[in-house]
């Protein structure tokens, strides 16, 4: 089975070392875990006001690896001229999606800035990826805000913007989230990735209690799952293990691990 990682990063994180994180080393990590391709963004863009230099750096870095690494632009809707950044990243640099950081760029996920940029992405057919967190707040540096994305705001955003496609990465508490609890949103195009989704903390005590993802799937949530690793913050093999124990049919697993991201990013890659 092929695996496409919707949640990988290049670059540096100022608060701790992530080892050498170049396209070559990223691909080596992914390939050791049996992962064929990935969507990538530049980590440091989350902390930049003007994100466009980081986007340009990303595009240059992945150009030699166009069949394996697919760039997603970071857009800061509070920075003047973000519309031109979006146009340039999509039309000139050929980026396949957009990542937004409401926590780090200080805007509400359901506010006017978010609605404008997400609406613009919907018009262009671009998936929007919004990390629930980058690091666990318990280990955050004092300069890191250490907050998580408000999933109720994300639910409001999805309801407010027609045609939007949103993937929330690095999230936990899927079953209790507003995205799942609001029944009217269950047919909308939103997704969680596997990277930090909880199987169950007491798995080592009782295999029958690994219920977070299983309950989500039992209630129909399999259509809202995609494969993602959050590498290099997390080990890519952890997401592979979660995929291996998902209680789904083989065809559904193929969609989660490859086909869904391929379709959402309009890559047209063979399975």
| Distance from chain centroid for Cα 255 | 16
* Predicted pLDDT of residue 81: 95
Q: How many CB atoms lie within 10 A of CB 236?
A: 25
* Predicted pLDDT of residue 119: 98
Determine contact, residues 133/101, Cβ cutoff 8 Å.
no
Domain count for the chain? 1
Does residue 270 lie in a domain region?
no
162: exposed, middle or buried (Cβ count in 10 Å: 0-12, 13-18, 19+): exposed
Residue 206 has pLDDT above 70, yes or no: no
* Predicted pLDDT of residue 208: 54
Q: How far is Cα 159 from Cα 179, in angstroms, rounded to an integer? A: 10
- Of residues 77 and 20, more confidence is placed in 77
pTM to 2 decimals? Answer: 0.93
pLDDT in tens, 49-73: 999 999 999 999 999 999 999 999 9
Peptide bond into 129 cis (omega under 30): no
Q: Measure Cα distances from 49 to 46, 164, 244, 252 in Å.
A: 8, 25, 39, 40
Q: How far is Cα 32 from Cα 159, in angstroms, rounded to an integer? A: 39
Does residue 208 lie in a domain region?
yes
Does residue 269 lie in a domain region?
no
Q: How far is Cα 239 from Cα 251, in angstroms, rounded to an integer? A: 18
Does residue 95 lie in a domain region?
yes
Read off the CATH number of the domain in which 73 is found: 3.20.20.140
Domain that holds residue 258: 4-264
pLDDT in tens, 132-190: 998 877 877 777 888 889 999 999 999 999 999 999 999 988 888 999 999 999 999 99
Mean pLDDT of the chain: 91
* Predicted pLDDT of residue 207: 53
Structure tokens belonging to residue 227: 């494969």
């Amino acid at each position: 089975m092929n695996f496409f990682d919707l949640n990988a990063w290049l670059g540096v994180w100022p608060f701790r070392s992530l080892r050498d994180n170049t396209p070559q080393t990223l691909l080596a990590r992914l390939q050791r875990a049996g992962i064929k391709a990935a969507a990538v963004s530049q980590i440091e863009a989350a902390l930049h006001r003007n994100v466009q230099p980081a986007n340009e750096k990303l595009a240059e870095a992945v150009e030699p690896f166009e069949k394996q690494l697919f760039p997603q632009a970071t857009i800061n809707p509070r920075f003047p001229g973000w519309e031109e950044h979006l146009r340039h990243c999509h039309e000139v640099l050929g980026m396949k999606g957009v990542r937004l950081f409401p926590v780090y760029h200080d805007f509400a996920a359901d506010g006017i800035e978010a609605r404008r940029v997400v609406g613009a992405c919907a018009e262009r057919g671009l998936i929007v990826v919004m990390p629930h967190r980058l690091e666990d707040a318990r280990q955050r540096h004092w300069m890191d805000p250490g907050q998580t994305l408000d999933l109720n705001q994300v639910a409001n955003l999805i309801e407010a913007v027609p045609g939007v496609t949103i993937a929330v990465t690095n999230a936990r508490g899927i079953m209790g989230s507003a995205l799942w609890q609001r029944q009217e949103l269950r047919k909308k195009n939103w997704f969680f990735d596997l990277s930090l989704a909880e199987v169950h903390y007491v798995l080592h005590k009782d295999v029958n209690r690994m219920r977070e993802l299983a309950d989500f799937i039992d209630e129909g949530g399999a259509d809202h799952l995609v494969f993602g690793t959050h590498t290099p913050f997390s080990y890519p093999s952890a997401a592979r293990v979660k995929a291996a124990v998902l209680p789904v049919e083989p065809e559904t697993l193929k969609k989660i691990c490859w086909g869904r991201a391929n379709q959402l990013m309009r890559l047209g890659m063979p399975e």
